[in-house]
Amino acid sequence: MDLDQLDLNPRITAAIKKGRLRSVKEVLCYSGPDLQRLTSLSTHDVQHLLRVAALLLQGSRVLTALQLFQQRESFPEQHQRLSLGCPVLDQFLGGGLPLEGITDLAGRSSAGKTQLGLQLCLTVQFPRQYGGLEAGAVYICTEDAFPSKRLWQLIEQQQQLRTDVPGEVIQKIRFSNHIFIEHAADVVSVCFCSHMAQCLGLWCRDQAQLNIPPG
Mean pLDDT of 9-21: 91
In 3D, which of 122, 142, 143, 125 has the Cα closest to residue 134? 125
| Predicted confidence (pLDDT) at residue 31 exceeds the cutoff of 50 | yes
pLDDT in tens, 141-153: 877 788 999 999 9
| Better-predicted residue by pLDDT, 211 or 25 | 25
pLDDT value, residue 167: 92
pLDDT over 50 (residue 192):
yes
In tens, the pLDDT along 198-214 reads 555 544 444 433 333 33
Convert the pLDDT of each residue in 103-120 to its tens digit. Answer: 888 889 888 999 999 999
* Greater pLDDT, 186 or 139: 139
Q: How far apart are CA 55 and CA 97, in angstroms?
A: 26
Predicted pLDDT of residue 1:
62
| pTM exceeds 0.85 | no
Mean predicted confidence (pLDDT) in 52-71:
72
Pairing of strands 81-82, 97-98: antiparallel
Strand 137-141 and strand 179-183: the pairing is: parallel
- List the Cα angle 124/61/207 in 5-degree steps: 45
Return the amino acid letter for 85.
Answer: G
At 6, the pLDDT band (50, 70, 90 cuts) reads: confident
SS3 of the chain: CCHHHCCCCHHHHHHHHHCCCCCHHHHHCCCHHHHHHHHCCCHHHHHHHHHHHHHHHHCCCCCCHHHHHHHHHHCHHHHCEECCCCHHHHHHCCCCEECCCCCCCCCCCCCCHHHHHHHHHHHCCCCHHHCCCCCCEEEEECCCCCCHHHHHHHHHCHHHHCCCCCHHHHHHCCHHHHEEEEECCCHHHHHHHHHHHHHHHHHHHHHHHHCCCCC
Q: Predicted confidence band at 57 (pLDDT cuts at 50, 70, 90)?
A: confident
Res. 140 pLDDT band, cuts 50 70 90: confident
Dist CA 94 CA 90 (whole Å): 6
Q: Quote the mean pLDDT of the chain.
A: 81
